[in-house]
Structures are given as structure tokens and as C-alpha cells.
């Protein structure tokens, strides 16, 4: 054992002990109640930078070796960081042999109390400490480096400290205390916009009533806000050109141009050319926002309508059959029309909700694939999917699995048959063990994801049902519209989604694939849980 330097005396329970500095590689890791030692990189960097601030508690054994009683994480981190010396407190009592029942009981109780009764900083206290460092002149980057806190968590803390509403929500002022990741989203919407207060109220309600769907609701609010901004800009431009732009309510009560043919004399199925229809007094458009998944940018789509549908004819004639014509009262006709309008409003709302859910789902998938350990049933899922011969997966693989590459953060592929580098193949060459399993999952899940569309909530395929069943088993929080994939009779007026607005937006009802886009227990900063170096 290396020499002990600079030792002093300390008193504990009437017995003397030695405070010393020793080479951490000479310490012996004794029996410990903690079976799995987690040495996350942020903790190790903190130990490397600042050393072991709280002494490691050790006792001598019969051979004079120093056996770690409390502080195995600090010891192992110091060894990994190659510290030359660490502080230790050498207790006066000798280390108890394994056959000493009384001594082992004392050791277990000692180690248990060391960790079980330790209270970490609350996230509100953490935010206050962050603010104090900011007040003392440190930047967010400097705080991340000095405290060895992951940058995403520091950014969340920085956002919360800059928002009075978020600070109050994190501290539990006026209601239950929010988690840091939820409070950071509140800060995102506390920006002085006209709808800020309303959006924050929705988020606070969601955090309290349905925290598992908080990410879905936040994404809906983002999409709604972006849509209102973009629609307002385009409406102003089109109105200046003399074109009528329909509101959401007006479009729900009007006929989309693709559902009409020019006249009753036109052959059934004939489409009206939108350019030729501009001469019709009923010509109008409705603006809605769509995600372009290839560029990951929002775009405005103008859907043509006709407010004078009676001047035209339904695009397809209805087959009345050979039986006698049925007569309906005016009330029955109006009731049937209202039912149709209600169903259309439902389709419009759920189409919008599906696209928001797709963005959140893809973010969750990326975090899920980035985990170090695959789910316990990953091998069975992979085997079953390959044995079933999924059509969606095959199509995705033939195009180079672009969604899988996006989930893995790899460059977009040129295509299965195209020459040039294939990022997914190169990643697979060096993958092994758990990482290889995660890559396999990414390929299959990316293929399933490509097979989804806005039609999936109404007419899910068997592959889509299998996909969402697996996601639910892996604790992905299904949104209300995604629940319809597994249960077509699920309540459409699910009040667990405070952001739901049945009259919001409009989309055409034709099928269009959606794409890109967890949430871990701690949200944006998931995986960054640095523990204080005092923890044994």
C-alpha cells in the first residue's frame, strides 16, 4: 500500500480515526449492499475535474489493507479518472470478517442509511442554484462545464429560470409542482404571444390530469400555433389577390372541389379543374398546414372548395337500386346533413391530431432506439416480424430504410439499388450485442412507421395494429387518436387531451403517408441524471 500523506485525527463516537489521502487503486472494494454500480460519464467527469470532495469511508482488514465501507462509486470513478490521490476517512474499528454476524449487520445498516436517507436537490432547488450561478456571471455553457450537467438539462434549467410562469410551475406555486421537462415546455410558450396564457393553462392542466400525454399535447399546441401564423400570412396574401379564404367552420359546411363534377351532364367521376373553377363565383380555398417529412418543414396547402355546390353535381352518382324511391322529410334531410358535417369535423380534427402524434411518436422512437439496452422481448419481436414478412418493412428496405436512418441520426440513404455509401449497412458492420439489436429494431420500426398514414386511425392494417401493440407494450404513451388503431370504438371526445379542438383545421380525406418526427421519464434531459459525488 502506498504511503499515507497529510493525515490528521478526527473523533467519532468517542473513537479516533484518520483522515488521509491515498492512491485509490490501493483501496479494496468490500462487500456492499449496492450490487450494480452506475458510473455515468457526467459523474466521472465531475470526479476527474473536482476530485472526491467527500472522504471515502474505509476500515483496515487483518492484512492492513484499506477496505471501502461507504463510497464504492467514488472509488471506482476515481480509479477510472486516474486520480493519484483521494481523501479517505479510516475508521478506528477494524473491518468485520464475513463470519462476524454483528459486524455484517452494522455494515449493511450503515450502507443502507448512507444512501437511502440521502435527499437529492429538488428540481426547483436545482433551478434556483442555476439562477444564482447566472446572477454571478456564469453563462449556460460555463454552468454545464463547471457542474458537469448535460447540456440539454442546462438548457431546460436556463429556459425555466427565464420564465416567471415556468418557475412558479416548477416550484408548485398555485398547483402541483411540475417536472423540469414539463416546466421547460411551459417556458417555451411563455413568450408574450397573444395565446401564451391560454397555452400555458392547457399545459398545466395536461401535466396534472394526463402527464403521460403531455408530449402529445405540447406538440399539438406547437402545430396549432405554427398553423395559425402561417395561415394568417397566406390568408393576407391571397385575400389581397381577390381570392376568398374559408375559415375552419366555413370549410366544414362547404363542399370540397374534388367531390364535385362540372355539371349533371358530365360523366360521373369527372373532376373539376381548379384553374378553370376560378371563374365560378363560389370558388374559394381553405388553408391548412402540412408537414413535409422529407424536409422536416411545415408548409401551407390550399385546398379548393366551392360555396355554390348546387351549380355543379356530385362527382359520383349514387345507386338508388331498383326499389321504390324513398321520401324523407326536410328535418330528416337536415339531420343527415348535420351527421355528415359532424363526421367530417371528426375526420378533420383526427387527421390533424394524427400528424401531430406522428411527430411526437418519431421523437420517442429516436430516443427509444438510442437506449443502451433493447427491450426484453426485442429478439421475439424481430423474429416474429421477419417471419411474418411485413410488406411495410420490405418496401422500406428496398428504399434503403430512410426512416430507420433518420431515427438513428444517420445520413439519408441514396436508395437500395443506388450506388454509393449506405449508412445503415456501415453502421451495422461495427455493431455488436445490444447495439446490433437496436439497429435491427430501427429497421423494422422504421418500416412499420412508413406504413402509417392519416388513414391509419380509421382503417388500420394488421401490420399497423401489430406495430402499435408493440409500442404500447414498450410504454409509448398512445395519444387519443392513436388509441383508435387498437380500439376503433375508443371515445372520440377524450377529455384527457385539453388541447383538442374538434373544429380546428381542415385536411382532405384522401390517404397520405405521414412521417418524421418520450419521452423518457425526465423528458428532454433523459439519461443525464448526474448524481452528487457524495453518494456512496
User: Is 514 within 8 Å of 358 (Cβ atoms)?
Assistant: yes
- Which residue pairs, CB below 8 angstroms and at least 24 apart, start in 94-97? 94/59, 94/60, 94/61, 94/62, 95/30, 95/59, 95/60, 95/61, 95/62, 95/67, 95/69, 97/62
Q: Tell me what pLDDT residue 399 has.
A: 83
Structural domain contains residue 525: no
Same domain, 299 and 369: no
Residues 64, 132: one domain?
no
Residues 347 and 397 in one domain: yes
Residue 10 vs residue 487, higher pLDDT: 487
Domain range enclosing 448: 343-519
In a domain, 325, yes or no: no
Task: Round the CA-based radius of gyration of the chain to a whole number and report it.
Answer: 31
Contact 83, 48 (CB under 8 A): yes
Top-confidence residue, 99 or 226:
226
This model's pTM is above 0.75: no
**Banded pLDDT at 523 (limits 50, 70, 90):** very low
* Pairing between β-strand 283-292 and β-strand 245-246 as defined by DSSP bridges: parallel
Domain shared by 163 and 190, yes or no: yes
Measured distance CA(228)–CA(221) in Å, rounded: 11
307 and 384 share one domain: no
Question: Of 209, 233, 260, which residue is a domain's last?
Answer: 209
Q: Is residue 531 in a domain? A: no
Query: What cell numbers appear for 463 in the block?
Result: 401490420
Q: Give the least confident one: 36-50, 333-347, 413-427, 512-526.
A: 512-526
Domain C-terminal end among 273, 300, 317: 317
Tell me the per-residue pLDDT of 21-80, one tens digit each, with 9 for 90 and over. Answer: 999 999 998 887 777 788 888 889 999 999 998 899 999 998 889 999 989 899 999 999
Cβ within 8 Å of residue 395, ≥6 positions away: 447, 450, 451
Residues 205 and 240 grouped into a single domain: no
Average pLDDT value for residue range 425-429: 86
The pLDDT assigned to 472 comes to 95
In a domain, 475, yes or no: yes
Position 381 in a domain: yes
Domain annotation covers residue 471: yes
Same domain, yes or no, for 362 and 502?
yes
pLDDT band at 323 (very low <50, low <70, confident <90, very high): low
Average pLDDT over residues 289-309: 80
State the total domains in the chain: 4
Instruction: Extract the C-alpha cell encoding 330.
Output: 326536410
Which of 175, 209, 243 is the last residue before a domain boundary? 209
Range scoring the smallest mean pLDDT among 35-49, 142-156, 249-263, 324-338 = 324-338
pLDDT in tens, 506-522: 444 333 333 333 333 33
Does the pLDDT value for residue 490 go beyond 90?
no
In the prediction, which pLDDT does 500 show?
56
What mean pLDDT do residues 282-290 have? 89
Q: What is the pLDDT of residue 415?
A: 62
**Tell me, what's the pLDDT at 364?**
96
Q: Sorting pLDDT into bands at 50, 70 and 90, what band is 480?
A: very high
Q: Look at residue 192 and tell me if it is in a domain.
A: yes
Are residues 433 and 309 part of one domain? no
Percent of the residues in the chain that have a pLDDT greater than 70, as a whole number? 84
Question: b or e along 244-281 (b: 16 or more beta carbons within 10 Å of the residue's beta carbon)?
Answer: ebbebeebbebbbbebbbbeeeeeeeeebeeeebeebe
List, in sequence order, every beta strand (DSSP E) within 71-182.
Answer: 86-90
pLDDT band, very low/low/confident/very high, at 100 (cuts 50, 70, 90): confident
pLDDT > 60? residue 501: no
Question: Could you tell me if 484 and 501 lie in one domain?
Answer: yes
Q: Which of 369, 351, 33, 39 is nearest to 223 (CA)?
A: 351
- Mean pLDDT along residues 475-488: 94
List b or e across 452-477, with b for residues whose CB sees 16 or more CB atoms inside 10 angstroms: bbbbbbbebbebbebbbebbeebebb
The grid cell for 431 is: 455493431
Residue 77 maps to a domain = yes
Assess whether 110 and 128 both reside in one domain: no
Residue 192: predicted pLDDT: 84
Mean pLDDT of 180-192: 93
Q: How far apart are CA 57 and CA 60, in angstroms?
A: 11
**308 Cβ contact partners less than 8 Å away, ≥ 6 residues apart:** 280, 281, 282
**129 shares a domain with 51:** no
Calculate mean pLDDT across residues 8-24: 70
Distance CA 12, CA 28 (A): 23
With CA atoms as reference, report the closest residue to 206 among 193, 221, 228: 221
The whole-number pLDDT of residue 336 equals 79
Q: Is the pLDDT of residue 392 over 60?
A: yes
For 57, list phi and psi in degrees, rounded to 5.
-90, 125
- The answer on pLDDT for 92 being more than 70 is yes
Q: What are the helix (H) ranges across 370-455?
A: 378-388, 391-398, 402-408, 423-429, 433-450
> Averaged over 261-267, what is the pLDDT?
92
Residues 112 and 132 in one domain: no
Cβ neighbors of 146 (< 8 A, separation 6 or more) are 133, 138
Mean pLDDT of the chain: 83
DSSP 311: G
Task: Give dist(CA 57, CA 281) in Å, integer.
Answer: 87
Nearest by Cα to 478 from 307, 301, 357: 357
From CA 31, how far away is CA 420, in angstroms rounded?
A: 55
Q: How far apart are CA 530 and CA 228, in angstroms?
A: 40
Residue 162 has pLDDT above 70, yes or no: yes
Amino acid at each position: 500500500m502506498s504511503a499515507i500523506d497529510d493525515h490528521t485525527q478526527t473523533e467519532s463516537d468517542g473513537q479516533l480515526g484518520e483522515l488521509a489521502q491515498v492512491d485509490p487503486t490501493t483501496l479494496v472494494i468490500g462487500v456492499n449492499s449496492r450490487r450494480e454500480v452506475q458510473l455515468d460519464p457526467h459523474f466521472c467527469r465531475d470526479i476527474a475535474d473536482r476530485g472526491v470532495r467527500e472522504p471515502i469511508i474505509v476500515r483496515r482488514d487483518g492484512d492492513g489493507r484499506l477496505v471501502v465501507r461507504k463510497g464504492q462509486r467514488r472509488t471506482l470513478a476515481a480509479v477510472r479518472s486516474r486520480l493519484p490521490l483521494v481523501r479517505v476517512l479510516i475508521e478506528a474499528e477494524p473491518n468485520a470478517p464475513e463470519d462476524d454476524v454483528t459486524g455484517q449487520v452494522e455494515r449493511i445498516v450503515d450502507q443502507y442509511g448512507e444512501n437511502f436517507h440521502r435527499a437529492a436537490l429538488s428540481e426547483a432547488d436545482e433551478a434556483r442554484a442555476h439562477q444564482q450561478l447566472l446572477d454571478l456571471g456564469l453563462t449556460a455553457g460555463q454552468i454545464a462545464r463547471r457542474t458537469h450537467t448535460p447540456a440539454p438539462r442546462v438548457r431546460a434549467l436556463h429556459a425555466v429560470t427565464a420564465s416567471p410562469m415556468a418557475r412558479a410551475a416548477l416550484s408548485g406555486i398555485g398547483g402541483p409542482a411540475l417536472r423540469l421537462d414539463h416546466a421547460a415546455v411551459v417556458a417555451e410558450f411563455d413568450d408574450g404571444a397573444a395565446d401564451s396564457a391560454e397555452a400555458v393553462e392547457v399545459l398545466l392542466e395536461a401535466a396534472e390530469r394526463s402527464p403521460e400525454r403531455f408530449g402529445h399535447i405540447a406538440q399539438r399546441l406547437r402545430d396549432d400555433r405554427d398553423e395559425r401564423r402561417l395561415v394568417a400570412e397566406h390568408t393576407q396574401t391571397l385575400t389581397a389577390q381577390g381570392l376568398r379564404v374559408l375559415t375552419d367552420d366555413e370549410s366544414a359546411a362547404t363542399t370540397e372541389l374534388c367531390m364535385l363534377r362540372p355539371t349533371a351532364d358530365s360523366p360521373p367521376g369527372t373532376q373539376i379543374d381548379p384553374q378553370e373553377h376560378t371563374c365560378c363565383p363560389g370558388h374559394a380555398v381553405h388553408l391548412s398546414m402540412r408537414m413535409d417529412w422529407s424536409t422536416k418543414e411545415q408548409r401551407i396547402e390550399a385546398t379548393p372548395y366551392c360555396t355554390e355546390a348546387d351549380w355543379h353535381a356530385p362527382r359520383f352518382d349514387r345507386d338508388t337500386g331498383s326499389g321504390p324511391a324513398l321520401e324523407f322529410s326536410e328535418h330528416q334531410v337536415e339531420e343527415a346533413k348535420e351527421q355528415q358535417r359532424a363526421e367530417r369535423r371528426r375526420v378533420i380534427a383526427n387527421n390533424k391530431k394524427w400528424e401531430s402524434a406522428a411527430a411526437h411518436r418519431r421523437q420517442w422512437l429516436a430516443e427509444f432506439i438510442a437506449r443502451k439496452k433493447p427491450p426484453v422481448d426485442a429478439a421475439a419481436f424481430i423474429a416474429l416480424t421477419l417471419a411474418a414478412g411485413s410488406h411495410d418493412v420490405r418496401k422500406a428496405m428496398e428504399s434503403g430504410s430512410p426512416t430507420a436512418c433518420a431515427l438513428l441520426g444517420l445520413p439519408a440513404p441514396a436508395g437500395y439499388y443506388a450506388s454509393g455509401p449506405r449508412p445503415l449497412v456501415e453502421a451495422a458492420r461495427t455493431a455488436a450485442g445490444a447495439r446490433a439489436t437496436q439497429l435491427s429494431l430501427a429497421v423494422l420500426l422504421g418500416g412499420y412507421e412508413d406504413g402509417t398514414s392519416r388513414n391509419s386511425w380509421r382503417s388500420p392494417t394488421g401490420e399497423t395494429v401489430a406495430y402499435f401493440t408493440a409500442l404500447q407494450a414498450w410504454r409509448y404513451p398512445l395519444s387519443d387518436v392513436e388509441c383508435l388503431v387498437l380500439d376503433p370504438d375508443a371515445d372520440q371526445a377524450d377529455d384527457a387531451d385539453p388541447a383538442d379542438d374538434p373544429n380546428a383545421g381542415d385536411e382532405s380525406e384522401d390517404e397520405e403517408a405521414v412521417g418524421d418526427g418520450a419521452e423518457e421519464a425526465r423528458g428532454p434531459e433523459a439519461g443525464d441524471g448526474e448524481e452528487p459525488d457524495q453518494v456512496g
